[in-house]
């Protein structure tokens, strides 16, 4: 079975978290987005393409275990992980993995409103296929020139744009193929993750450069998640900052926790996902920060 034709729109809206560098916060964004959409009453399916680390799959399993152990009324996404094929030839392995992905995507697309796909921090045939199905592509990057270099190559003297980075080239190629087949593009959103609270020259330069090049390279810039311990801390329980009230943890809500919750909700709004804003407004009216 091959992936469903990209010429035919899927019933669900597909969100892909992608980047060719590990440690940029893709899984954290994917999980918080999934839980945020669940809080808004949407049905969500998650597909983990990182067959080795399986970070998103483990995050979701931790959540399932915690809910069952403490009988908590927390919503769960549907989930699947695409494991690496054991086929001898690379061609057969790619085909088997594509078939597994196609089955998961087709199934979740029928049963869910949103499908969130978490890609590994590397280039692979399966990750490229997932990008082709992305209605929305989220690329988190750290405040690092190494991360920025994947998006754009800058002059070291004046920080002017010299050319697209390798990941931008890939997105442009896949975006062109998708537009040719479906006549629809990919809404590409770049977010800055683990941004520290203290201002420094590097942070200022990153801000200026990203604001200047976003239109040239075809992405929208959104503020991501700050450098907060709470994001990493909650992984073991499978929880997010949106779950802190009523999650069975003895954690006092601090200003930092409330700020993290606001970051998540702000990012969800910035993604311009279908039918989300009206539900988000209603949620915030009923449960203000």
Is there a domain that residue 189 lies in?
A: yes
Is there a domain that residue 8 lies in?
A: no
Task: Give the model's pLDDT for residue 56.
Answer: 97
Q: How do residues 50-82 score in pLDDT, each as one tens digit?
A: 989 999 999 999 999 999 999 999 999 999 999
Residue 213 has pLDDT above 70, yes or no: yes
The closest alpha carbon to 249, from 268, 266, 235, 228, belongs to 235
CA–CA dist 31, 55 (Å, integer): 10
CA–CA dist 253, 264 (Å, integer): 16
Rg for the chain, CA atoms, rounded = 19
Would you state the structure tokens that stand for residue 177, as one six-digit string? Answer: 């193929």
Task: Give the model's pLDDT for residue 145.
Answer: 82
CA–CA dist 260, 156 (Å, integer): 33
Q: What is the mean pLDDT of the chain?
A: 90
Residue 171 has pLDDT above 70, yes or no: yes
Is there a domain that residue 179 lies in?
A: yes
Domain count for the chain:
1
Is there a domain that residue 145 lies in?
A: yes
Is there a domain that residue 39 lies in?
A: yes
CA–CA dist 186, 199 (Å, integer): 33
Which secondary structure element, helix H or strand E, spans residue 208, and what is its range?
A: helix 201-217
Task: Give the model's pLDDT for residue 175.
Answer: 92
Task: Give the model's pLDDT for residue 21.
Answer: 84
Task: Give the model's pLDDT for residue 245.
Answer: 81
Is there a domain that residue 61 lies in?
A: yes
Is there a domain that residue 52 lies in?
A: yes
Q: Which domain holds residue 129?
A: 13-286
Which secondary structure element, helix H or strand E, spans residue 57, and what is its range?
A: helix 55-70
Q: Which of 32-46, 146-160, 197-211 has the lowest mean pLDDT?
A: 197-211
Is there a domain that residue 6 lies in?
A: no
- Cβ neighbours of residue 133 closer than 8 Å, sequence gap 6 or more: 3, 6, 10, 14, 16, 105, 117
Q: How do residues 263-278 score in pLDDT, each as one tens digit?
A: 999 999 999 999 999 9
Domain of 119: which CATH number? 3.40.50.300
């Amino acid at each position: 079975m091959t992936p469903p034709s990209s010429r035919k729109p899927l019933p669900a809206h597909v969100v892909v978290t992608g980047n060719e560098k590990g440690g940029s916060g893709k899984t954290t964004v994917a999980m918080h987005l999934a839980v945020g959409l669940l809080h808004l009453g949407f049905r969500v399916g998650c597909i983990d393409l990182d067959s080795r680390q399986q970070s998103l799959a483990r995050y979701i399993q931790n959540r399932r275990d915690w809910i069952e152990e403490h009988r908590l009324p927390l919503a769960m996404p549907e989930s699947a992980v695409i494991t690496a094929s054991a086929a001898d030839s690379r061609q057969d392995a790619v085909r088997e993995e594509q078939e597994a992905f196609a089955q998961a995507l087709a199934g979740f697309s029928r049963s869910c409103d949103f499908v969130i796909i978490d890609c590994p921090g590397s280039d692979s045939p399966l990750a490229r296929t997932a990008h082709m199905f992305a209605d929305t592509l989220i690329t988190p990057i750290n405040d690092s020139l190494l991360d920025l270099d994947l998006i754009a190559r800058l002059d070291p003297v004046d920080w002017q744009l010299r050319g697209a980075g390798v990941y931008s080239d890939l997105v442009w190629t896949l975006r062109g193929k998708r537009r040719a087949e479906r006549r629809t593009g990919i809404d590409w959103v770049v977010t800055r993750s683990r941004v520290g609270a203290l201002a420094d020259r590097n942070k200022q330069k990153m801000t200026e450069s990203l604001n200047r090049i976003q239109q040239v390279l075809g992405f929208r810039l959104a503020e991501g998640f700050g450098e907060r311990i709470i994001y990493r801390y909650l992984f073991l329980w499978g929880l997010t900052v949106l779950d802190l009230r009523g999650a069975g943890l003895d954690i006092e809500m601090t200003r930092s926790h409330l700020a993290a919750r606001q970051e998540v909700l702000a990012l969800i709004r910035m993604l311009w996902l279908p039918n989300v804003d009206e539900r988000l407004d209603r949620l915030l009216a009923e449960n203000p920060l």
